[in-house]
Amino acid sequence: MSVMKSERSMRRNSGSGASERQRMIVGRVLSYMALTIAVLLILFPIYWMVITSLKLPREIYRVPSLWPQVFTLDNYYKLLFDEGFLHPILNSLMVATTVTVVSVIFSAFAAYSMVRFRYRFKGLIGRLILFAYLTPGSLLFIPLSILMAQLGLSNSLQGLILVDLAFSVPLATWLLQGYFRGVPRELEEQGLIDGLSRMGALLRIVLPLSAPGIAAVSIFVFTGAWNELLFALVLVSSESQRTAPLALNYLITSDVLPWGPLMAGAVISSVPLMILYFVAQRFMVQGLTAGSVKG
C-alpha cells in the first residue's frame, strides 16, 4: 500500500505520470522475466529427479533423454512394496516428530529464561549453546556412538532421537531467543499484574505471540531430523529401525546404483517437506529470520 501511495505522490511530484508508468511496466516485465528464469533454473534439478524416478533403467543408463519415452511407476512400486519403504518413512516421521516436540519444549523454556532473566553464567551458557550448535558432527560421531552404547541405546530410534536432540536443541534455543526478544515485555508485565504466574506468562502470553517463530523453528528442526544421515548411518543397523535417508542409502549396494528407485525415494522423502515449506513459507520468512539473523 505504502509503495502505491508513494508512487502516486511521486507522479504528482514529477508531473510525468505516463513515462513513470511506462518505466514501471518495463520494470515489471523485466522482473518477471528474471524471476521466471531463476525459477526454471532452480527447478531443473528437481525436474530431473522426478523424471529419472519415472524412467526405466535402460533409459536411465543407455538412452538418456530429457523426456522419458516410457513413463513407468515401476521404481515407486519396487521401492514401496519390494523394499517396504513405508516403514522407514514412518520411522523418520516418528523420529522427526519426537525431536521437534521435545526440542521446541526444552528450547522454549531455555530461551525464555535466557531472554527474560539476568543471572550468573548467562553469557557463558549462551555461548555454550551457540558453540554446541556449531560443533561439527563429524567430530562427534564416534564419541556419541560409544556413549549411546553405554546407555544401551545403540541401534534404536531412541538413541537416534537423543543424538538428533543434541544438534537441534541448541539451534532451536538460539532461534527462539531471537524471537522472544521481539515479544514486548509490557504485555508480560501486564499478565503478571493480572495474577499470572511466570510459567503462566510464558505459556499464555509469550508462546502464543511467538507462534510464527515457533512454527518456523519446528519446521527447521523437523527438516534437520528428517534429513539426518551421518548419525543414522553410524548408530542404526537393524532394518526395523532404519530412517528414510538410511533406507535409501541401503539401496546403494556395492556395485550398481539403482538410480530409478533412488530417485523415487528422493521424491517420496522430499515431497512432504516441500509441501510444508510451500505452505509455510510466510512463517519461515517472518519467524526464522527474526530468530536467526537478528539473533
Partner 1 sequence: MTDTPDFGRRRRWLTDSRRTHLFAYALVVPVLLLIIGLVAYPFGFAIWVSFTDRVIGSVGKFVGLANFEYLSRNATFGAAVSNTIFLVVVTDILKLGIGLGLALLVNQQLPGRGLFRSFLMLPWAMPAFVAFLTWRVLYQPVGGGLNLVLTQTGIYPHVIDWLGQRPTAMPSVILASVWRGFPFWFISILAALQSIPKELYEAARVDGANAWQRFWMVTAPGIRQVVLVTALLSSIWTANAFEHVWLLTQGGPSDATMVFPVLAYFGMQTQRIGEAAAVSVSMMPVLIVLLIAVTAVMQRDDER
Partner 2 sequence: MKSIHLSGFNRARRMVVSAAITAALMAGTSSFAIGQDQPYSGTQLTYWGGLIFSEDANQLLSDTITKWGEANGVQTEVVMINQNETVQRVSAAVESGTMPDALDLSLDLLMIMSRQNVFVPLDELYNRVGEAQGGWYGSIDLATDTTEIAGGRTGLPFGASGNLLLRRTDLLEAAGFDSAPATWEELVAQAEAVNAPPVSGLGLALSNVGDGNVQASVLQSFGGRIADDTGENVTIKSEETRTYLTWLKDAWDRGIFPPGNATWDGAGDNQVYLSGQTAFIANTGSVGIAARNDDPELYEFTAYSALPAGPIGTISPITPQVRAISATSDNQEAAMALLEHLSQPEFLREYYKLAIYGPVLQGQAEFEAFNGEDPIHSGLLDLVQKGTAPGYPDVYNSAYADFMANFIVPKMAQRVVIDGWDFDRAMDEAQAAGQAIYDKY
Footprint of partner 1 on residues 153-182 (CB under 8 A)?
Answer: 162-163, 165-166, 169-170, 173, 181-182
Within 10 Å of residue 284's Cβ, how many Cβ atoms?
16
Partner touching 254 among partner 2, partner 1, none, CB below 5 to 8 Å by kind: partner 2
Site residues (CB under 8 A) for partner 2, limited to 214-243: 233-235, 237-240, 242
**What is each CA distance from 106 to 45, 113, 171, 250, in whole angstroms?**
37, 11, 11, 33
Take residue 111 and report the three cell numbers written for it. Answer: 530461551
Taking residues 34 to 73 in sequence order and writing x for each that binds partner 1 by CB under 8 A, - otherwise, the string is: xx--xx--xxxxx-xx--x-------xxx-xxx-------
Site residues (CB under 8 A) for partner 2, limited to 154-193: 154-155
**142 belongs to the binding site for partner 2 (CB under 8 A):** yes
CA distance 55 to 69: 8
Take residue 287 and report the three cell numbers written for it. Answer: 519467524
- Cβ nearer to partner 2, comparing 257 with 271: 257
Q: Return the SS3 of 85.
A: coil
Q: Nearest distance from residue 68's CB to partner 2, in Å?
A: 14
Partner touching 155 among partner 1, partner 2, none, CB below 5 to 8 Å by kind: partner 2
CA-nearest of 240, 245, 216 to 228 is: 245
Could you tell me where the DSSP H helices lie in the chain? 2-14, 17-53, 57-61, 74-77, 86-116, 122-134, 137-150, 157-181, 185-193, 198-201, 207-209, 211-227, 230-235, 244-251, 259-283, 289-292
**289 belongs to the binding site for partner 2 (CB under 8 A):** no
Partner touching 140 among partner 1, partner 2, none, CB below 5 to 8 Å by kind: partner 1
**270 belongs to the binding site for partner 1 (CB under 8 A):** yes
Site residues (CB under 8 A) for partner 1, limited to 69-128: 106-107, 109-110, 112-119, 125, 127-128
**261 belongs to the binding site for partner 2 (CB under 8 A):** yes
Residue 67 contacts by C-beta under 8 Å, 6 or more apart in sequence? 51
CA distance 163 to 145: 9
Taking residues 232 to 261 in sequence order and writing x for each that binds partner 1 by CB under 8 A, - otherwise, the string is: -------------x--xx---------x--
Enumerate binding residues for partner 2 (CB under 8 A). Answer: 56-58, 61-62, 72, 74, 78, 81-84, 87, 141-142, 145-146, 148-149, 154-155, 233-235, 237-240, 242, 247, 249-258, 261
